[in-house]
Structure formats: structure tokens, C-alpha cells
Amino acid sequence: MKPVSLIQFLIEERRAGRINAELSLLIEVVARACKRIAVATSKGALGGVLGNAGSDNVQGEAQKKLDVISNEILLEANAWGGHLAACASEEMEDPQPIPDMYPKGNHLLLFDPLDGSSNIDVNISVGTIFSVLRCPEHVTEPKVEDFLQPGTQQLAAGYVVYGPATLLVLTFGHGTHEFTLDREVGSFMLSRRDIRIPAETAEFAINMSNQRHWEAPMQRYVGELLAGKEGPRAKDFNMRWVASMVADVHRIVTRGGVFFYPLDAKIKAKGGKLRLMYEANPMAFIVEQAGGAATTGRERILEIQPAGLHQRVPVFLGSRAEVEVATRYHREADVAHA
């Protein structure tokens, strides 16, 4: 098979009428910014980029130097391109307008510049997650409410994993595709087209240290997985937990599996751990486009009407059959308690 670069792939998508020139340019700019983030992350201690920045983000979490650097790289790269009406970052309270000196476009970009940042200092994979929405018509200065569109409205979503290899996984709603960064050439090359996540799996990912705080249906579901062959599922399950969502999701996109960040008593008041607009929606779009499923344990993530830019939700995603079992247990428990 002849190698296909990201640029060639984007041109093909344009010719097929699946994306317009502006969206294609936007993805090119995001990909270029992520190459710069890959360079920064790969320098490690030699780049002076490890450790805390000494500031907190909008979520009240300590920012790492690389969180701040990645955020700046993405903001700067996207400001002048002319393809965006505004962007929003997990690291910033409010949307970032496009400076007046640059032309504006019709798209809204949302991103988590460096997901899994608690893993930066220990040299474990981290990543960037992004989501693209259309700016509502006649809106020239987008406000928070213009971003609050359900995930079904996403025009594109993707993530980049900075691991042993740097990979970009992308969807425009016509399948999910993977590109691997050829470091010598400096280009993302198509490495898997139309990825399919197997419906069945025997591998799950969850932070088990929260077990005692989970709701009853989650206790039941994971209890059954742990019971293995002798239990009601009559099958042994294995567990994997990187604690970088991008890396855990990428494993699932590669060989199947299921990822959970459920509601628990500690985070109930916040609504969940992971952010709807920056993490749950883009990952749900990517996973669904690869044949998987994504719910909050109660409803399909992509159908949630967002109430806030930094809203948090529970996340269940991956191999369809397992997401369905865990979601069914939650719905059954809700009915029994209604």
C-alpha cells in the first residue's frame, strides 16, 4: 500500500465532500501544534519542562509546566490561521477570542492540551484531545453558550498520544483513522484506516482505589468481572489502568477493552471526574465511529445537552457489549429505586 500522509488524507476527504477547506486547514494546524508538543514532551528533564508551573487551572488543579506550554502552543498556532471563530481550553475559564488583527472562520475548537498530566514527570504517555464544532450562524464573537452544543454536533474530534510513538487518531464522522508521526520526515502518516473496536472484550480499565465510593450498580458490575470464570459472567477479565485517558482509550481503540470513570461519592457533587466538552465528547465520537459505545452509565454521552463549558460527567466507553452490560445495571438500579 502506498503511504498516505495526513495532508493527502485531508485532500481526499475534501474531494469526497466530507469536509471543507477550512476544516481541513484547522486539522493541519492542530496537527502541526501537536508535533511541537511532541517535541517539548520528548525532551523530558533536558528541556526544563518537568514539574509544576506554580499555578492552578480553572478546575483548581495544579498546572504542570507542560500543561501551560501545550496550551500556549495550541492557542498561538490557531489564532492566526483564519479558520476559527474562537477556542476553549480545559486550562482556561473562558473561551479565547481570536485577536482582531487576524481573520476569523466559522469553527469552534475545544481542547485538553495535555491530558494525563500527572503522568508527565514519570515518563508515561500523555496526550492532547480536541473537538471541533460549527460556530452558530451570525455569531461573530462566540460566548460560552455558543460552545454548549451536544457531542452529536461535532464536526471532528481527535487525540494525539505522546508515547513511544506519537499517534494522531481522528474522526470526521466517517470512521476513525490513525496516523503515526514519522519523526524523520516530520509528517503524520496513515497507519490504520477505519478502525474497528471488537464488540466483546476481557479487559477493563478503572481506578480501583475508588471502589468503596462507587454506586451499587458499579460495585455489582466490577464485582462480577473480578469473580471471573467462577462468577456470573463465567469469564476471566484482566485489568489495565494507565491513568492517562488518551493512553487507556488508545489501547481500547487498538485491541478493544472498556474504560470507566464512574460517579463516586467523592466526586458526586461535581457530576463526575472527566470533562464533557474536552474529554468525554471527543472520545465518545471517536469510539462510536470505531463501532464502540460511550455512555455516562445512564445516557449516551453524545446526546447530553451541555450546561457549562467545564461540566464533568461519568464516562463508560469502549467495546459495545461491556458498555451495554454496565449501563444496563445502572438503568435497572434506577428503575428499582424509582
Interface with ligand FDP, residue 314, by CB under 6 A? no
Q: CB of 103: closest distance to ligand FDP in angstroms?
A: 33
Interface with ligand FDP, residue 128, by CB under 6 A? no
Interface with ligand FDP, residue 178, by CB under 6 A? no
Interface with ligand FDP, residue 244, by CB under 6 A? yes
Interface with ligand FDP, residue 116, by CB under 6 A? yes
Q: CB of 294: closest distance to ligand FDP in angstroms?
A: 14
User: Binding marks (x or -) toward ligand FDP, 197..226, rule CB under 6 A?
Assistant: ----------x-------------------
Interface with ligand FDP, residue 66, by CB under 6 A? no
Q: CB of 23: closest distance to ligand FDP in angstroms?
A: 26
- Choice between 117 and 154, CB closer to ligand FDP: 117
Interface with ligand FDP, residue 55, by CB under 6 A? no
> 3-state SS string over the chain?
CCCCEHHHHHHHHHHCCCCCHHHHHHHHHHHHHHHHHHHHHHHHHHHCCCCEEEEECCCCCEEEHHHHHHHHHHHHHHHCCCCEEEEEECCCCCCEECCCCCCCCCEEEEEEEEECHHHHHHCCCEEEEEEEEECCCCCCCCCHHHHCCCHHHCCEEEEEEECCCEEEEEECCCCEEEEEEECCCCEEEEEECCCCCCCCCCEEECCHHHHHHECHHHHHHHHHHHHHHHCCCCCCCEECCCCCHHHHHHHHHHHCCEEEECCECCCHHHCCCEEHHHHHHHHHHHHHHCCCEEECCCCEHHHCCCCCCCCEECEEEECHHHHHHHHHHHHHHHHHHC
Interface with ligand FDP, residue 118, by CB under 6 A? yes
Q: CB of 271: closest distance to ligand FDP in angstroms?
A: 14
Restricting to residues 261-290, which ones interact with ligand FDP according to CB under 6 A?
Answer: 274, 279
Note the residues at the interface with ligand FDP (CB under 6 A): 115-118, 207, 243-245, 274, 279
